[in-house]
Structures are given as C-alpha cells and as structure tokens.
Amino acid sequence: MPVEEGLLRMIELGVNIDHVATLRQQRFTTYPDPVEAAVRAEEAGADAITLHLREDRRHIQDADVTAIRSKLRTRMNLECAITAEMLAIACHIKPQDVCLVPEKRSELTTEGGLDVAGQFDVVKAAVGQLHDAGIRVSLFIDPEAAQIDAAVRTGATVIELHTGAFADADGDAATALRELERIRKGVVYGITQGLRVNAGHGLHYGNVHEIAAIPGVSELNIGHAIVARAVFDGWEKAVRDMKALLVLACRAA
C-alpha cells in the first residue's frame, strides 16, 4: 500500500532505463551510460530503478545490471522472463524486486501480461526460487481477476497491472475508458487479495494522471516516455516532471 503522509497518498515512481541503453546499443558506444541514468534519476526523485534484462540483450546488458545494483540508493526492480538463466542471474544479483514478465524475441516491446493462470506451476516455482533468495516478486499481468487469483496462489506479494491496452487506446475515448475501468477494478481486487498493486507500460505525460489517480496504486513503472521527454528537456527535468504529475494526481484523487 502507498505510504500515507497525512492526507496525501504517496505513489512511487519506478524509472525504467531500458531505452537509455537502446540509444547506446544502436552504435555499441559506452554512452549514454545507464548507470549514470539510474543515479541521476534517483537524484531527480525516482523511488526505484527498473530495468529489463531481456534474453536477446537488445538494450540492458548483464554488466549494466551488475554495475547498477551496487550504485542504487533506492531500489532495483529487475524485470526478466522466467528462464533458468534469468532466474540464476536474479538470484546472484539479488535486487530488492524482480518483476516476472512474458517475453517473445520477435516482440517490439512487451505485448501482454504474464499468463500466470495458464503456466501456474512454472510461475509458482520461479516465485519460490526468488523468495528463497530474499527477493520480493512482482508478476506483470493483465488486469484480470483470474490472473490476480493465480498470482496470489503463487505466493507473489506484488502484481504490476499491464496498462498497455489503456495507453494504446490513445484517441479512442471509449476504449480508453473501458481499459481504465478494467485497471481500476484490478487495483481494487488486487488490494482486497492482500497484494501490493503497481502498474505500467506505455504511460506518458498525457495519460499518467488517470492511472496515478486510482486509489491504492502503489507504484508506476515508466520508461519510454521519460527517455523520450529527456531528449528535449533533459533527464532530470523529465524525471522531476513525471514525479510531479504523480504527486498532483494523488492530491486530486
């Protein structure tokens, strides 16, 4: 549950630095450095740093994860697929949080939520392995009751609701409203099941307020839009401005 400070519900911002690494990987240079991005994002107000070590290493590299782990003052939220390789890396690095996400090499970005209900035993075993390593586990799922129920049964204590369908509905008000309602219901249901409920994917400066205003959301993980805004406004300002929008939305809720 978000930290209560007086009447102000505080929602946390996880800054995803994947696409700082995307820019670097375009020419295999040493810059921009994701480590510098992580440290400066924390200085600008990030409550956690999220990074997705993909099997194809298209952006974040193993060395980034190792280097960033020792530099963070807040919290590392490592996203990865459920594979023996990734679980071994996570158990070695021991981030505060691991968010298990689905992954297809052909995908441009994460397309859907993890099908916890459909691969329950595999997910439950991964959750147990990470818990044994002292890591808090989040499951990146669609806002569906069946997925939330399955998540609870795995022993995970956190879910991150996939906001991609809401974000992709930009411009189609009816669809956006329907997806927002799905997310809202998912937040309420997840909390009644005793879970910490986060959300993320595709959120930007124009749509984040609707998600941040949902009472009970603990954390939003946002990356692509912040990196894009930083091109024009600079990294720290992009992070500060996103954090300010979260605070405003909480105040208005």
Shorter beta-carbon distance to ligand LD2JLWAY: residue 110 or 154: 110
Q: How far apart are CA 98 and CA 130, in angstroms?
A: 8
Q: Is 217 exposed, middle or buried (0-12, 13-18, 19+ CB in 10 A)?
A: buried
**Whether 107 is catalytic:** no
Q: Annotation-wise, does 204 bind a ligand?
A: no
Tell which positions 2-61 bind ligand DXP, by CB under 6 A: 16, 18, 52, 54
Please tell me whether residue 15 adopts helix, strand or coil conformation.
strand
To 5 degrees, how large is the angle CA 219–CA 221–CA 226?
A: 130
Shorter beta-carbon distance to ligand DXP: residue 22 or 253: 22
Binding mask 147-186 for ligand LD2JLWAY (x = CB under 6 A): -------------x--------------------------
Please tell me whether residue 38 adopts helix, strand or coil conformation.
helix
Quick one: which of 80, 127, 223, 229 contacts ligand LD2JLWAY (CB under 6 A)?
A: 223
Q: Annotation-wise, does 50 bind a ligand?
A: no
Residue type, 180: L
Q: Annotation-wise, does 162 bind a ligand?
A: no
Shorter beta-carbon distance to ligand DXP: residue 9 or 239: 239
Q: How many residues bind ligand DXP (CB under 6 A)?
A: 12
**Whether 79 is catalytic:** yes
Q: How far apart are CA 223 and CA 227, in angstroms?
A: 6
Which of 160, 179, 201, 210 does the annotation list as catalytic?
201
**Whether 52 is catalytic:** yes
Q: How far apart are CA 155 and CA 12, in angstroms?
A: 23
Place of tokens 């993909």: 54
Binding mask 62-101 for ligand LD2JLWAY (x = CB under 6 A): ----------------------------------------
Q: How far apart are the first and last CA of the chain?
A: 15
The tokens describing 115, both together, are 């099908």
The tokens describing 251, both together, are 């105040």
The answer to whether 79 contacts ligand DXP (rule: CB under 6 A) is: yes
E-only strand ranges, the chain: 3-5, 8-10, 12-16, 48-52, 76-80, 97-100, 136-141, 158-162, 196-200, 217-222
Q: Annotation-wise, does 223 bind a ligand?
A: yes
150 binds, among ligand LD2JLWAY, ligand DXP, none (CB under 5 to 8 A by kind): none
Q: What amino acid positions are annotated as catalytic residues?
A: 52, 79, 201
> Which residues are annotated binding-site positions for 1-deoxy-D-xylulose 5-phosphate?
18-19, 54, 59, 109
